[in-house]
Amino acid sequence: MMCNANSFKSLMAGSALLLLVAPAVQAAEQLPDAPAIDARAFILMDYASGKVLTEGNADEKLDPASLTKIMTSYVVGQALKANKIKLTDMVTIGRDAWATGNPALRGSSVMFLKPGEQVSVENLNKGVIIQSGNDASIAIADYVAGSQDSFVSLMNGYAQKIGLTNTTFKTVHGLDAPGQYSTARDMALLTKAMIHDVPEEYAVHKEKEFTFNNIRQPNRNRLLWSSNLNVDGVKTGTTAGAGYNLVSSATQGDMRLIAVVLGTKSDRVRFNESEKLLTWGFRFYETVTPIKPDATFISQRVWFGDKNEVNLGAGEAGSVTIPKGQLKNLKASYTLTQPQLTAPLTKGQVVGTIDFKLNDKTIEQRPLIVMEAVEEGGFFSRMMDFVLMKFHEWFGSWFS
């Protein structure tokens, strides 16, 4: 069953009023083309809506290099969130995390750990995120999962859960390894998941420096010092095979953007191109949330339940990204999957689709979900609903 945007008589005031009384459609403002980006692959994504504003070769499988540590950090964040480890836990450093004794680490970015020393999870975590320490990645992986191989299995398990369909991790640190790859799109989705799922872990990515054993190292993400953008993460990655990679995220008001550039030719280029993407996105787009997470979008008759009506909404998917100044032209309609809703209904159950339109053109679709559970009603109420439903089918709205 499809309902026209202008027929929403029972929408709650404030949550979708703009959808009800939108004025006549005006000519859409012409947006300038996205900037040309000097990278092998790139993407610019709105965090709240997931909308991709521009992309290039975003699904090409490339070497992530130290962007791998975004997933390392995500796994650590999940372990902290589940209280499997604590920031105050002390970790004994093994020989595999000793740069001098591990040929694979020589010449790479390290935290300068020494075998046998005791280091807190908090400091190792900062060593991974801020210093891009490959030794720190090994040490914390050993502590969380017992071995690097087991930790890599966790990384790939989370990759599947998040929906990273073109990503396979082979190492905990991102140094070159056969069969290790990701894409610009997957890196944006991983960053989106980190910000949402483990915000306390993500917050570490904005720290500009970290000192360990009297060795001070700055965060390698130079955009944290940008005077033009409010960048608060996330990670650089560099190897001879990968080139210069960067995932960055910035906020402006209620809007957050995620930019990914892969395979640029120099350190300077990756920061310049990322800044171009973020600046363009903030200049010409805005994130709006016409349906708040807890707001009712529409109330609908439900049959055979312990209540006669159920509230439907968008949950956390009520944000959309639109060109600046176009909010007045945003409308929505909804379509139910089935002609009638029947109990039982579970909270979060998808029962239809919300169709967002801008200037009469569909720009986004979101699942229409049940906002609170509806249990089956008693025997007599269900019998009464059966009779009423039959009358409704036969005689239409007279008995609705």
pLDDT digit string (tens) for 55-83? Answer: 999 999 999 999 999 999 999 999 999 99
Read off the pLDDT band of 30 (50, 70, 90): confident
pLDDT of residue 398: 53
pLDDT at residue 265, rounded to an integer: 97
> What fold characterizes domain 2-16+290-399?
Peptidoglycan synthesis regulatory factor (PBP3), Domain 2 (2.60.410)
The pLDDT tens digits for 327-346 are 999 999 999 999 889 899 99
pLDDT tops 90 at residue 17: no
| pLDDT > 80? residue 24 | no
Pairing of strands 298-303, 341-342: parallel
Q: What is the set of active-site residues?
A: 66, 69, 132
pLDDT tens figures, 41-56: 999 999 999 999 999 9
Q: Identify the pLDDT of residue 29.
A: 58
- E-only strand ranges, the chain: 2-3, 41-46, 52-56, 90-92, 118-120, 209-212, 215-218, 230-239, 243-252, 255-264, 285-288, 298-303, 309-313, 320-323, 330-336, 341-342, 350-358, 361-370
Q: Which of 29-38, 41-50, 177-186 has the lowest mean pLDDT?
A: 29-38
- What token pair was written down for 372? 């609170």
* Cα–Cα distances in angstroms (integers) from residue 53 to residues 286, 301, 362, 388, in the given order: 11, 38, 16, 49
Work out the mean pLDDT of the chain and round it to a whole number: 91
How confident is the model at residue 31, as a pLDDT? 83
pLDDT at 90: 99
- Chain position carrying tokens 């640190």: 173
Is the predicted pLDDT of residue 12 greater than 50, yes or no?
no
Asked if 332 and 22 touch (Cβ cutoff 8 Å), the reply is no
pLDDT at 6: 37
User: Quick check: do 2-16+290-399 and 41-287 share a fold?
Assistant: no
User: Stretch 260-282: mean pLDDT, rounded?
Assistant: 98
* Structure confidence at residue 395 (pLDDT): 66
Residue type, 100: T
Mean pLDDT, to the nearest integer, of 286-314?
Answer: 93
- The residue with greater pLDDT, 197 or 398, is 197
For residue 105, give the DSSP letter.
Answer: G
The percentage of residues in the chain with a pLDDT greater than 70, rounded to a whole number, is 88
* Ranges of each domain in the chain: 2-16+290-399, 41-287
- Map tokens 């409308």 to a residue: 331
Q: What are phi and psi of 268, to 5 degrees?
A: -65, -40
26 — pLDDT class (breaks 50, 70, 90): very low
Give pLDDT, residue 23.
38
Global pTM reads: 0.88
- CA distances (Å), 367 to each of 16, 58, 315, 336, in order? 16, 25, 9, 10
pLDDT tens digits along 142-167: 999 999 999 999 999 999 999 999 99
pLDDT value at 16 more than 60: no
DSSP 390: H
Q: Is 235 annotated as a binding residue?
A: yes
According to CATH, what is the number of the domain 41-287? Answer: 3.40.710.10
Report how far residue 190's alpha carbon sits from residue 148's, in angstroms, rounded to the nearest whole number. 20
* Mean pLDDT within 227-232: 98
- The pLDDT score that the predictor gives to residue 63 is 98
